[in-house]
Amino acid sequence: MKITKLSNKIIVDNPTDFNVIQTLCCGQIFRYVIDGNTAKVFSKDKMATLSFTPQHIEIVSTDIDYFFNFFDFGTDYKQIKDQLSTDKLVAPAIKFAPGIRILNNDAYEMMISFIISANNNIGRIKKSIEYLCSHFGSNMGDYYAFPTLEQLKTATVEDFKQAGLGYRAEQMFDTVQKLTNEDIDFLKQAETREKQKKLMSFKGIGEKVANCIMLFGLQVKTVFPVDVWINKVYNHIFNKNETDRSKITRELTERYGNLSGYAQQYFYYYYRENKIG
DNA sequence: GCCCAGGGATGCG
DNA sequence: CGCATCCATGGG
């Protein structure tokens, strides 16, 4: 794989460690549109347009530096995959989707997005986020930006219900009203344990959602989010009937250590795409 | 009509 | 602490 960063685009040749579909469809991002061999990806108020074939990928944006980091091009995934492939359980998942990368998305956007994700499905999560963007975010011409914290603070509980948040509307309102930019700055520099503690002090954020926010928005790879699907797969693999997700989280985090986040994504996509569990 | 979705809050012992 | 119950909503 060869990555070339130009002033107005990024070119990836022989993309052995990057597949657009796999990276966008593994549940880590909700704002994207795939249309044939092109895709649009949104983060904060920014957009990138990707065109891809099996041999060649081009990423065009007005903020190349942002998306170079966003797609995690500073990380060597070959080394991560080699190391993880020694594990019997993850090896087939890596073979199935060797082009997954973990995005470096915006912390605040991940907080709002994953509060919505709780006990919800991806289709509805996307719709709710789109609603918030189009009703509270800035008009960027051909798309809407994710609403800033200041913009989202103008939303009422009724607005969040209109967005389809259901019973999460009150939680979201409470969290948005209490959240400050200082909180987000704190999250970015705090120790992992302090990040989790701080995140879970907000309504609508429990262990799993906090782990997702850390993994996708705060560059913490030592966490292993356990959702209903991972729970099913765990029971399937180990022939158990475990319902305590904290216990599963502890077990899998211990097993995969500082590569937990990567392992979880390969795991999640593979078993979900193949409907195992 | 039931079951499920990238779970969390609350109350109870 | 562990555990049970409830929580809106749309799609299968």
**Closest nucleotide to A166: CA versus each C1':** C8
Percent helix / strand / coil, chain A, rounded to 5: 50, 10, 35
Q: Output the average pLDDT for chain A.
A: 97
| pLDDT at residue number A229 | 93
Q: How far is the CA of A205 from the C1' of B9 (A)?
A: 10
Ordered mean pLDDT values, 10 residues apiece, chain A (277 residues): 98 98 98 98 98 98 98 98 98 98 98 98 98 98 98 98 98 98 98 98 98 98 97 94 96 98 97 84
Q: How far is the CA of A272 from the C1' of B3 (A)?
A: 18
At A77-125, the pLDDT tens digits run 999 999 999 999 999 999 999 999 999 999 999 999 999 999 999 999 9
**Closest nucleotide to A232: CA versus each C1':** B6
With tokens 């790879």, the residue in question is: A221
Separation CA A273–CA A269 (nearest Å): 6
Report how far Cα A231 is from the mean position of its chain's Cα atoms: 18
| pLDDT at residue number A217 | 98
Query: Which residues does strand B reach (CB under 7 angstroms)?
Result: A 26-28, 117-125, 167, 171, 200, 202-210, 212, 225-230, 232, 264-265, 268
Q: How far is the CA of A217 from the C1' of B12 (A)?
A: 36
Q: Residue A81's closest CA among A19, A16, A4, A11? A: A16
Nearest protein residue to nucleotide C7, judged by CA and C1' positions: A167
Tokens representing A220 are: 């913490």
Separation CA A218–CA A165 (nearest Å): 24
At A29-57, the pLDDT tens digits run 999 999 999 999 999 999 999 999 999 99
- Which bases of strand C have any atom within 7 Å of the beta carbon of a protein residue? 2-3, 7-11
Q: Residue A231's closest CA among A201, A264, A257? A: A264
**Closest nucleotide to A121: CA versus each C1':** B5
| Order of all β-strands in the sheet with A56-61 | A2-5, A9-13, A56-61, A46-52, A38-43, A32-35
Q: How far is the CA of A226 from the C1' of B7 (A)?
A: 10
- State pTM to two decimals: 0.98
Q: Residue A215's closest CA among A232, A230, A199? A: A199
